Amino acid sequence: MRKRSITLAVYFLLLFVPIYWMVITSLKTDVEILQSFTLFPRQITFENYREIFTSEVWRSSFLNSITYVLLNVIMTLTAAIPAAYAFSRWKFRGDHHLFFWLLTNRMAPAAVFMVPFTELYYMLNIYDTHFAVVLAHCLFNLPLTIWILEGFMSGIPKEIDETAFVDGYRFPRFFRTIFLPLIAPGIGVGAFFCFTFSWVELILAKALTLTEAKPVVVTLTVGIGAEGVKWGLLASAGVLTIIPGILVVYFVRNYMAKGFALGRV
Amino acid sequence: MARIELKSLTHRYASSRKETSSFAIENLDISWEDGTANALLGPSGCGKTTLLNIISGLIRPTGGSVLFDGVEVNERPTRDRHIAQVFQFPVVYDTMTVFDNLAFPLRNQGIEGKAVNARVREIMEILELDTLANTKTRHLNPAEKQIVSLGRGIVRKDTVAVLLDEPLTVIDPVLKLDLRRKLKLVQQELRLTMIYVTHDQHEALTFADHVTIIRDGAIVQSATPEELFLYPRTPFVGYFIGSPGMNTIRCEKVSDRLKIVDSELELPDEIAHKASHLNGTIELGIRPEFVETSPDEKPNWNRFTVRMVDHAGAYQVLTLESGSLRIKARVEDHSSSREGDSLWINTPHDRTNVYEDGELVTL
Amino acid sequence: MRQRPWLFLLPTLVLMSISAFIPLIAVINYSLHTIFAGSTPDFVGLQNYADVMGDAQFRGALLRQLTFSLLALLVEIPLGVGIALCLPRKGGAVGLSLVLLGIPLLIPYNVVGIVWRLFTQSDIGVIPRILSVIGYDYNVSLNSTDAFLTILLVDVWHWTPLVVLLAYAGLQAIPQTFYQAAEVDGASAWKTFRYVTLPKLRSVLTLGLLIRFMDSFKVYSEPLLLTGGGPGNATTFMSLFVARKAEAYELGYAGASSIIYLYVVIVMSYLLFQFINRSQERGRP
């Protein structure tokens, strides 16, 4: 027992050291960062955070990120739910092949699609809009979400559908009032993965945006390789990008624990 | 093998979030003789599995002692108790062959190869597993896997007892009989001390020489199957054993004679007088098998109407009614009673049990 | 209600056409042409593919990538399982542990890059300082080995929690009775692990293996931000390599290498999957 706790403690410590480092860097003055090496800021400053919150660029970056991430979640779910239903409930010609093809897209390296996306979206006039990133992220999120939802839906017996139809439910009403509540956890999990993937993705977000829709992940790359990198600023921006993630995980933690525990049954 | 005893055993569960049944085992005294086939019978949730886990050491009882051949083992860890356990679903090492599965406990003890081989072959022969020796256990059906589980338990010569926790649960009905037969055979041949836990009275009565009935953490009756059948100690036991269960008839004392509650029917004199010195709540119990029926009127017999006829293959169960009294009778399949027919019923006094305040009265 | 699969799949098909199908065709198209800025593309058939395969740089990047992915797997899987075995099985600590594990997974990739850059920069980083104390001159920008191992370390730091979570879910699914039986059989801790835990974790580990393999093949942001792909080519992995070619507008080349890249991932994943399944033999219950 002791060995386990110690190993765990050491592991978590190592896991959080880089994060701790980033947090304290965000609270240090630039001078302190560059010229001395301290384990705890000699002088705590919120200057970096202030700069971000008052900076138009940073603010709009955050806003852009949140916008396209949410849009992506909505769009992906809207397409994935019916698709997953079709895969789960019906057999049709080519269903296995289609499913497999969808999954292979999840494997695709984003770099492969950089240029075509840029050209295509340019043509469609959506370059440098939130939409471009949303569409691009669908490439990865849609297959994964369909896969997750299909799994959950297959856990609901078909009899429930049939009973509802026999009882006189029209499909839309059945779907809305009976089916969706039953697969709510699945929707939650799917939304979670969409959110996290979209929030952290860089290659496509960088390739498809310029100024209008520039997300925070791209703004964070500014100053890399240049002289006099503003570490404090970057660190604080970094800290701010982690917060949404932490909040989401914190709120679903019991959900997750339960999901893992259910496996025992 | 050894004699296993539980003395004044008490156990309370740590309260969990769902307060389904916060029951406890209170002052239990049981002993199982060396080399006997025993059953622990009771409805689901009555504590049977808990008792098994206390014997094997997976749970520490809050009070009382567990003794093997008179020696207290409360402090002994599971590993040192040498108890073999067969669970509800087969527990085998999927990646190993049948042979290796059976050899595993011996090899862990450090016994040398030749002795291991000899012993494993011996066990495999008894359990009729020889043909499967080199098959990986994951390819076996559940019944075969259970036998391997059992084999792993008895392959060690220092095994004290074999505990079986509803081992037929996941077995196909077709294979259940065969497995039961094998279990009984092995028990007899090797003279194993076996404790078989189940909620199925049929399994218990056909397997065991001695059955203990448990309910809500307390022993209701502990006896041979025959005794349980003929002289159930409480109406609960009477109802639980037998198919269908024993009939229970409420009675009351009316001027020193027993009369059936809410009924005009007369009880045979022997019964009516026998129980006249009793007080308290009185019930009569008679098994459907012992209820005598006749289509023709007979002196001192009572008239009932057939309400329902259930065909159960080799026999029929008749539900008989007279006024507000309903009893069941079990008759041969070729009887031709039909719903609505009248039947004359006798309840022989030597087959009728009398219960006062829920306990069997011996007169 | 009448089956209408294609209606239900319509939104998905439309979106995937725009996101996947059309771009894929476009990439294949590029790969078959030589493209110069300003002039019309020339159809060259499979010439680009030949060029790519013959290019030592490409082969180097591919080899580097494979080495990286395999090493990452070799560390992440056992480490992940090991940590999962240490996690509490029930109680309040479970939720907390899961949250802590989830955090590294939710950090934007480039923030990961920035954090580790902070850590490893020669002038301001912790690691160079610590290593200099024991006499090692660590320099992530100049030393190839340092750079490669650092990126590897970043990947391990970043993604082991995913393996832990998967392994943990798998462990929770193992009924306690198997461990009880092993205890009764007198099995040592190692034997219990080998004969009970490991076989039952197989399917979940396969999943973890495949996911990590596929995703490690796409590593991009971390090397970009930490080392810029260098020193030299030391940390130029496939994604970086292809992206560079695309940025340099060598679209024909980029296209061909992209297609090869894509299908290497798909084929290797497929093979890995088959290999793991085949070694499990027929007759799964």
Per-domain boundaries in chain A: 20-54+223-265, 66-214
What pLDDT is recorded for position C275?
72
**Residue B59: partners with Cβ closer than 8 Å, 6 or more residues away:** B11, B50, B53
Q: Of the ranges A208-217, A225-234, B216-225, B286-295, which one carries the lowest mean pLDDT score?
A: A225-234
How many CB contacts within 8 angstroms connect chain B with chain C? 51
- Helix (H) / strand (E) element for B268: namely none
Measured distance CA(B199)–CA(B219) in Å, rounded = 14
CA distance A186 to chain C (A): 16
DSSP secondary structure code for residue C90 in this structure? S
* Contact criterion met (CB < 8 Å) for B108 and C199: no
Partner C contacted by B80 (CB < 8 A): no
The label of the residue with tokens 């009771």 reads B42
Do B and A count as touching (3 or more CB pairs closer than 8 A)? Answer: no
Q: Is the peptide bond before C108 cis (omega within 30 degrees of 0)?
A: no
Domains in chain B: ranges and CATH: 4-230 (3.40.50.300), 240-361 (2.40.50.140)
Residue at A155: amino acid letter: G
Gap between the Cα atoms of B156 and B150, Å rounded:
11
Q: Are the beta carbons of C283 and B139 closer than 8 angstroms?
A: yes
Residues in chain B predicted with pLDDT less than 70, given as ranges, are 13-23, 45, 275, 363
Residues of B within 8 A of C200 (CB-CB) are: 94
Name the nearest CA neighbour of C218 among A240, A237, A139, A219: A139
Query: How open is the CA angle B255-B231-B240, to the nearest 5 degrees?
Result: 105
- Nearest chain C Cα distance for residue A56, angstroms: 20
Cα(A24)–Cα(A21) distance, integer angstroms: 5
SS3 C199: helix
State which residue of chain C sits closest to B82, comparing Cα positions. C184
Query: Whole-angstrom Cα distance, residue B106 to residue B102?
Result: 8
CA–CA distance, A220 with C227 (Å, rounded to integer): 16
Residues in chain B: 363
User: 160-179 in C: which are within 8 Å (CB) of B?
Assistant: 175, 177-178
Cα maximum dimension of chain C: 78
What is the residue-wise DSSP string for C32-67? TEE--TTS--EE-TTHHHHHHHH-HHHHHHHHHHHH
Question: Mind listing the pLDDT tens digit for each residue in A180-190?
Answer: 887 777 787 77
Chains C and B touch, using 3 or more CB pairs below 8 Å: yes
Q: How far is B96 from chain C (nearest CA, A)?
A: 8
Q: In terms of DSSP bridges, do strands B37-41 and B210-215 run parallel, antiparallel, or are they unpaired?
A: parallel
Q: Measuring CA to CA, which residue among C208, C218, C219, C220 is closest to residue C272?
A: C208
Binning pLDDT at 50, 70 and 90, where does residue A115 land? confident
**B353-356/B292-294 β-pairing:** unpaired
- Any C CB within 8 A of B233 CB: no
Sign of the dihedral through C-alpha C168, C169, C170, C171: positive
What percent of chain B stands above pLDDT 70? 96
- Closest among A4, A55, A46 to A24, alpha carbons compared: A46
CATH architecture of residue range(s) C26-278: Orthogonal Bundle (1.10)
How high is the pLDDT of residue C278? 66
Protein fold of A66-214 = MetI-like fold (1.10.3720)
**Predicted pLDDT of residue C81:** 93
B101: left (phi over 0), alpha (psi -120 to 50) or beta: alpha
C16/chain A closest Cα distance in angstroms: 6
C208-229: burial string, b at 16+ Cβ within 10 Å, e else: bbbbbbbbbbbbbbbbbbbbeb
pLDDT average, residue stretch A68-96: 88
- Give pTM, 2 decimals: 0.77
**CA geometry: angle A116, A122, A128, nearest 5 deg:** 105
For chain C of 285 residues, list the mean pLDDT of each consecutive stretch of 10.
80 86 84 75 81 86 91 94 88 81 81 82 77 80 85 92 86 84 86 90 81 86 81 85 80 82 83 69 38
Q: Which residue has the higher pLDDT, A36 or A26?
A: A26
Q: What is the DSSP letter of C258?
A: H
pLDDT tens, residue by residue, A2-21: 788 888 889 999 888 888 88
State how far the Cα of B224 lies from the Cα of B241, in Å rounded to an integer.
12
Q: How much is the pLDDT for B23? A: 57
How far is Cα A179 from Cα A177, in angstroms, rounded to an integer?
Answer: 6
